[in-house]
Structure 1
């Protein structure tokens, strides 16, 4: 049985990369002996629950800057990979990919770099671009979340097309299990994700300011936490939207809540392959998102099961969202069309792609 290790920078973060890492580890442990290695653990414990069959290794038990992780963890990682005879390591994200690539130079473990962002979204950020190049250059394979990002690697980094593939994130079994039938009677809008600058909550508030006063019987619920949350709270108060734009915080039962909503809105400046849109699709929710460089365009069929908005056009997003809010018929039509792309994100189909990649390495 092959021994594989999935390496993440910090498994205590409640983010999309950590959620995918957990889901992948819990699925692959049926086929392989699986370890999850967290380079550091700032919040003291994993954000998501790993299977009992997955072995957890923490390199540093506290948070640390990248240079400290590299300096202090160099020997420990090499020692761990050698001692446990790890055949293959999947590095999740840019930081983990670059650090593990450097730490593994001269080692026997074969690396697969899994880019959970998108190359061109951060092309102008020299340090991030350099880390992606290092991670991809010193790995046997690179995996991107979208076809667009795969093409960008080939064009910009001259990556050998045979060494790079696209594998989508899958829709979690629990999401499917808890999904319900769509109700046009719902007057609730959903947005969920970390409150960070890249997630576009500054634009969301402006959209809400334009559209919510026209629909006084509707509410827009925001789930999540993060550094920009206080700013968003202040803006909601400034615009007098406290009764319609509601901060719901972090919840542990998010999967069971999707069925209560009428529409999902994603206002991000950039994305990889947004899990919230996949989870919304499993619940047959119409979706509205900025058509940023990667991600939403491979999930949403514009004008069929949702709307793709010209990036950062607040007026257009407010207009299209208003169309959905005003028309039960349009919401029902979009909901009925969401199932057409669901097979592309089927867990069994995507897990098979991972197993083929690992076995053929």
Structure 2
């Protein structure tokens, strides 16, 4: 029997791109070998993204039901896996004594196979507590510059990565940095892109609607404040165009205040979560992304699948390996809000160019089909076995 693959992530009920990416891959791999998804926490009622019924799904700490008396005491204790930084700087707020206990107990009993971890502290937990016969593949969903900007996080990765059987990153640039830092070869540091959430459309989107879309959690790193600033410059010259920002998060009120301050509340809408992103993209004429940091953004892949041209800031690190400036969209220098406004003007003002960019994005989507990406994962899993 083929050895199982287990995915370990923080919360399978999450709304973010990480949960979507992990569960999407799990759904594809289950056709080839047994798959289990282990969610450290359960903070929502059900996973937002559907799991194939053949996949075994486990939750270690159920915060919806609430822990029992003994577990409540453990939950109040700090984690000993990775102590909080002494300066009370950014750490991993999800770790507690209860999480330590649940992780150690489950990982030490895992049957032989491959465990794919998806978060720096989970990489470290797996290398410390894995059972005999378990290979551990760390899968990074951000990028090297952001990871090593924080000394605390750098120390976690420096402790974990040398003990992993393989380290999977999203971009060629990241692979170069990690190989150099740890003196590891291509067989240990691998590049595997994210896969499309759905198959490319039968034809590119019509790009006739006078609407731009953006999507992501309403948090600072997604940079929606500078997208609003950039679109304010567009709104004056193109009064019939609008912008929908899809997602939820703690920045909603601040972003709405910024929209109101620009006087464009009738043109920019905080549209909340959307259940059918493919249809949303097909009803738009461009996808805008102004994040200050990304891994390999799913929203750009999804735009490509529908043949929607992209306008993205060249943040570290994924957009530069996805958006070819002037061919399938526009790549704007990181932080250049005025340049982003100019790119939007160009996209809006030239329908023929817009269709050309969209068609090329649609053609490029073939590089990220699930069939191609799953094959990369199967080769990796066979290799570490």
TM range (shorter): over 0.9
1:12 aligned onto 2:13: yes
* Contact 1:90/1:113 (8 A) holds in 2: yes
1:267 aligned onto 2:293: no
1:125 aligned onto 2:126: no
Task: Tell which deviates more after alignment, 229-238 or 272-281.
Answer: 229-238
Distance 2:257 2:330 in 1: 29
User: How much has 1:192 moved relative to structure 2?
Assistant: 0.4
User: How much has 1:241 moved relative to structure 2?
Assistant: 0.7
* Contact 1:236/1:242 (8 A) holds in 2: yes
Query: What 5-or-longer segments of structure 1 have no aligned partner?
Result: none
Distance 1:356 1:92 in 2: 19
Distance 1:276 1:87 in 2: 32
* Contact 1:7/1:38 (8 A) holds in 2: yes
User: How much has 1:294 moved relative to structure 2?
Assistant: 1.1
Match of 1:144 in 2: 169
Distance 2:102 2:270 in 1: 42
Match of 2:263 in 1: 240
* Contact 2:38/2:60 (8 A) holds in 1: yes
Match of 2:85 in 1: none
* 3-state DSSP of counterpart to 1:235: helix
User: How much has 1:75 moved relative to structure 2?
Assistant: 4.8
User: How much has 1:79 moved relative to structure 2?
Assistant: 4.0
CA deviations on 1:101-140 (whole Å, 9 max, x unpaired) are 3332x64311000001001123221122222223322210
Once the two structures are superposed, the pairs formed by residues 168-247 of structure 1 within 5 Å of their partners are: 168-173=193-198, 176=200, 181-247=204-270
Task: Tell which deviates more after alignment, 128-137 or 15-24.
Answer: 128-137
TM-score w.r.t. the length of structure 2 is 0.88
Match of 1:33 in 2: 34
User: How much has 1:293 moved relative to structure 2?
Assistant: 2.3
CA RMSD of aligned residues (A): 2.0
* Contact 1:188/1:262 (8 A) holds in 2: yes
Q: 2:135 aligns with which of 103, 110, 116?
A: 110
CA deviations on 1:181-228 (whole Å, 9 max, x unpaired) are 422422110100111111001211110111112101101110000111
* Contact 1:4/1:86 (8 A) holds in 2: no
Once the two structures are superposed, the pairs formed by residues 331-350 of structure 1 within 5 Å of their partners are: 331-350=354-373
Distance 1:92 1:101 in 2: 13
Count of residues in correspondence between the two structures: 358
Distance 1:14 1:136 in 2: 27
User: How much has 1:145 moved relative to structure 2?
Assistant: 0.7
Match of 2:72 in 1: none
User: How much has 1:160 moved relative to structure 2?
Assistant: 3.4
Distance 2:243 2:272 in 1: 13
* Contact 1:171/1:282 (8 A) holds in 2: yes
Match of 1:94 in 2: 120
* 3-state DSSP of counterpart to 1:132: helix
* Contact 2:204/2:308 (8 A) holds in 1: no
Match of 2:304 in 1: 281
Distance 1:278 1:216 in 2: 29
CA deviations on 1:117-176 (whole Å, 9 max, x unpaired) are 001123221122222223322210000011111111112333333211000011123x53
1:166 aligned onto 2:167: no
Change (3 A) 1:96 1:45: farther
CA deviations on 1:1-60 (whole Å, 9 max, x unpaired) are 211110001112111110011111111111111110111122243221111111111111
